[in-house]
Structure 1
């Protein structure tokens, strides 16, 4: 029994160790190594060539005592692992920062106004294209309508609810759509809804969230790689290129996938949230919006009113399979 327990613990620790070791921190340290080779190590490479320089550096390392070599290897592994753990620890506040939750109010207001003007311009350009039938548009107009629809969907319609970053607007727009459709506040209801989701759905949501955090780690490693410009100035434009590619090419796409999954969870499983809380199920969309707002209020601040009456939980589902009773007489 204890052997199985320690084996399980060791397996989990090894998985976490490997996850931290092979993290996006490798990008940062590889960039530092490349910058050092381009700066400090470049004269040796020019004098001996790549193969000769590698032999000289290897001979210098093998000439050290065995304990020093072992300490160097262990120190390198600890450095990479600690860097990965540090990235994972700060990934959540980094995501919040990329959403636009800063303490600097003036830059937030300026960026929000700038993105707001761009969103309003996209809405104005989309309206005449959306009003026309699809068969009356050519291929370029259809592609333009699709691009504009995606960009309009990626920002809240209400200017007061917009964020100062495109990434934050993608997440905020998803929250606003859930509120508008069902009256449920996802910030309040999501922890409760999470408890009734099937395991397969949870795994999909966790994977999408992990993709967002992983891309955020790549972005911050790209930004931090600019410090290697002390050895070569090429590090600065390359770090900007990596950070911009991670943000615009991958982070926004990962955020859209994640928000689509969150909205799908509310689309498919919100009735289970009602039933688990013994809240009466609404009968039509207008009633659902009102019920969702009342349920959100009940979850956030409670209620002492005698209504609505709690509904009885639904009975067990009928059995399925070859032995299940048929519906015929």
Structure 2
């Protein structure tokens, strides 16, 4: 137990230092340096050295009590900034996933309808291309002469739609860039998670919202760790974006901080999209690979592959008639 508590204390200290103190110290340093430099001459480091020399020459800096008090205040302020970034990160994550607050519901609805219209138009173009390919292939098959087998077996036919296949694939990719299923959220990340639910329900008739908490209990440690890592990557990206928002404040008096905002937000947004995609893929993979285990654990016969019949029975069992 002593060893466990020592290890736990070390991990908590490392987490506190890496997530709260160090980013907070950097933030305070940028804010303090920016307040000295200002907009007019933002890269004149001589101003900083002069200010540091002036502060070092004051009698208070030679008092141990003053030094300890300032150090404690700096650490507390750094940790406070880190906690604020964590709280803002939760809000950023909700915005990314399309769970917008009530004052923004109107804008969310308008953006969702716009994305749904774009997706419907792209889906219609893709399906029309598939129909044309099928009709062209059928027409060429009817018009093709009977093969001459007197000189040996006929050569394999080339695909009749070989010229339109790349274009059709591009149309499908253009639709999937918008969303993998019809958009129901104002953001791509929110729709990516909903698409996993829709695809699982379409393939297995399983209500993923009801099944996921039970399925998680059956996953092996490796799969559980992979899914948890992808989920934490999204939280980390949202926290990075929140730090970017906090840097808007020093940008008011030191414009180079706005560059930190842009770079931090862009990198966090890219990381979040990758994390959401990986998380959704891992959730679908968990259902594909361990859906039979869930059926067996619930007492539903599933001897071979999981089908919609067993999935529907799983949904009925888990929803308890709701």
TM range (shorter): 0.7 to 0.9
Q: Secondary structure at the residue paired with 2:99?
A: coil
Which residue, out of 117, 120, 136, partners 2:163? 136
Report the Cα offset of residue 295 of structure 1.
1.7
The alignment status of 1:118 with 2:143, answered yes or no, reads no
Aligned ranges 1:55-204 → 2 under 5 Å: 55-57=53-55, 63-85=61-83, 87-88=85-86, 91=89, 94-102=92-100, 103-104=102-103, 105-127=105-127, 136=163, 144=170, 147-148=173-174, 150-152=176-178, 154-157=179-182, 162-204=184-226
Of residues 52-61 and 187-196 in structure 1, the stretch that sits farther from structure 2 once superposed is 52-61
Deviations for 1:112-152, whole angstroms, at most 9, x for unmatched residues? Answer: 1122233234334544666767953698x599457526415
Q: TM-score, normalised by structure 1?
A: 0.74
In structure 1, the residue matched to 2:10 is: 14
Which residue, out of 280, 283, 289, partners 2:301? 280
Within 2, Cα distance between the matches of 1:44 and 1:180?
57
Of residues 229-238 and 23-32 in structure 1, the stretch that sits farther from structure 2 once superposed is 23-32
Deviations for 1:287-327, whole angstroms, at most 9, x for unmatched residues? Answer: x2233223222212259xxxxxxxxxxxxxxxxxxxxxxxx
Deviations for 1:13-55, whole angstroms, at most 9, x for unmatched residues? Answer: 3312321321277556634532442333458984945555554
Q: State the aligned residue count.
A: 291
Of residues 96-105 and 172-181 in structure 1, the stretch that sits farther from structure 2 once superposed is 96-105
Q: For the structure 1 residues 110 and 44, does the alpha-carbon distance in structure 2 shift closer, same or farther, using more than 3 Å as the test? A: closer
Report the Cα offset of residue 202 of structure 1.
0.7
Q: Secondary structure at the residue paired with 2:264?
A: helix
Within 2, Cα distance between the matches of 1:94 and 1:209?
15
Structure 1 runs not aligned, ≥5 long: 304-329
The alignment status of 1:268 with 2:293, answered yes or no, reads no
CA contact (8 A) 1:23 1:84 kept: yes
Structure 2 runs not aligned, ≥5 long: 134-158
Within 1, Cα distance between the matches of 2:127 and 2:222?
39
Pair member with larger Rg: 2
Of residues 8-17 and 263-272 in structure 1, the stretch that sits farther from structure 2 once superposed is 8-17
